[in-house]
Structure 1
Amino acid sequence: MANRLVVIDDDPALRVLLSETMALQGFDVDAFGSGAEAIEKAEWGRTGSALIDWMMPGMSGVEVVDWLAAHHPDVRRIIVTAAADALLVQHPEIVDRAAVLAKTDFSGPRVAEMIEATWPPSTA
């Protein structure tokens, strides 16, 4: 379970990049183009972590984090965003429910370290 990772990003190129990068880090990756699709189709009972884009049409990354915290609190939650500062200003409480990573700081080893550091996940 710990090595199963869900990637949620509406940008197809970034979704592929995130997925392939994390697969090279040893994760089994399932990728989805929206929060609603991930909620419906992901095997959450077998998932250890989720990388979630913040700004997506429809369901935002914050809404996905809230849903995961309520329904699958054991899943580690990391929001990956190009606008980390704006996210933290608009949603300062997010740090209680998810780790936040700027896309400019993204690397496979960095995310693997964050996943390790966010265990056990917050149940807030």
Structure 2
Amino acid sequence: MSDSNELTGENLKERDEFRKRINNSKELLDLDSAAELLSKEYSDLYDVNLYIFRSFKRETIIEIRFYRKSNFDPDYFALVKDTPPMFHSKITMPIYAEEAIKFDVNWESGGGFNHAW
């Protein structure tokens, strides 16, 4: 689980590298534990995004990244304070994905993409 405000960096590449380092050091949670944590924070959640962080033959690690309503400026917070959170599931596609029928979902965690042009 990741609060989007904990991700820092000058640009997208730096933020992604920082995110990977943080996620690699976190303890894995099972689905019930993650759901319990989300339900405790439900009233403050604005947006919840599920990403495939790493996948193995019999296990997939999902990163749950969320945005909190309380992190918004006061004017926008007043607009969204009573709205339920949005939920999205996403997969980060490599640049060659439009041409490829299949691609390795672990392309980000493998230190870049390995693709035969």
Fold shared, TM-score > 0.5 on shorter chain = no
User: In terms of Rg, which structure is larger?
Assistant: 2
Higher helix share: 1
Q: TM-score, normalised by structure 1?
A: 0.26
TM-score by length of 2: 0.27
